[in-house]
C-alpha cells in the first residue's frame, strides 16, 4: 500500500486534509512565515532565505499553490507569490469551530 484511501472519506474531509497536509512540512511553514514577513516575494528571495536548492523551493511553492494556500502572479520575468488570506481563514475557522465544540465537552 502507501496510497491514502481518499475514496472512503468525505470530500470535505479530504479537502481539509489536503490543505493541512500542505502545511505539514517545516520548509513550507518557513515559506509561509517568510511570506507573512515580507508580504510578497519572488521564488529567488525564498531560495536565498532558506537552506534548500532552487528546485526544492519551487516544488514546495507548487504544493502550497495547489493546496490554495498561496497565489502567484506573473510579474514579467519572475513570479510574485503571496499568501491567500481566504485559505488561512478557512483553517482558522476549522480549528476555531473545533475549539468551540470542545468547550462544552470534558475529558
Would you tell me which residues interact with DNA (CB under 7 A)? 1-5, 21, 24-25, 27, 42-45, 47, 52-56, 58-63, 72, 76-79
Q: Which of 43, 57, 61, 83 binds a copy of itself (CB under 8 A)?
A: 83
Rounded distance, CA 99 to CA 7, Å?
Answer: 27
Question: What is the full DSSP assignment across 26-57?
Answer: HHHHHHHHHHHHHSEEEHHHHHHHSSS-HHHH
107 binds a copy of itself (CB under 8 A): yes
Check if the beta carbon of residue 36 is closer than 8 Å to that of residue 3.
no
Rounded distance, CA 24 to CA 26, Å?
Answer: 7
42 binds a copy of itself (CB under 8 A): no
Query: Among residues 32 and 42, whose Cβ is nearest to DNA?
Result: 42
Check if the beta carbon of residue 22 is closer than 8 Å to that of residue 28.
yes
What is the smallest separation between the CB atom of 100 and DNA, expressed in angstroms?
Answer: 27
75 binds a copy of itself (CB under 8 A): no
Residue 83: all three cell numbers together: 499568501
Rule CB under 8 A: which residues touch a copy of itself?
4-6, 8-9, 13-14, 16-18, 20-30, 32-33, 36, 39-40, 50-52, 71, 82-83, 85, 88-89, 91-92, 95-96, 98-99, 101-102, 105-107
Amino acid at each position: 500500500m502507501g496510497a491514502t484511501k481518499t475514496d472512503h472519506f468525505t470530500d470535505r474531509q479530504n479537502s481539509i486534509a489536503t490543505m493541512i497536509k500542505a502545511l505539514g512540512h517545516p520548509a513550507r511553514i518557513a515559506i509561509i512565515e517568510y511570506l507573512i514577513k515580507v508580504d510578497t516575494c519572488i521564488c529567488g528571495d525564498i531560495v536565498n532565505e532558506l537552506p534548500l536548492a532552487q528546485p526544492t523551493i519551487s516544488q514546495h511553492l507548487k504544493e502550497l499553490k495547489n493546496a490554495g494556500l498561496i497565489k502567484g502572479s506573473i510579474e514579467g520575468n519572475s513570479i510574485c507569490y503571496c499568501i491567500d488570506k481566504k485559505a488561512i481563514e478557512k483553517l482558522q475557522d476549522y480549528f476555531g469551530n473545533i475549539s468551540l465544540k470542545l468547550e462544552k465537552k470534558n475529558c
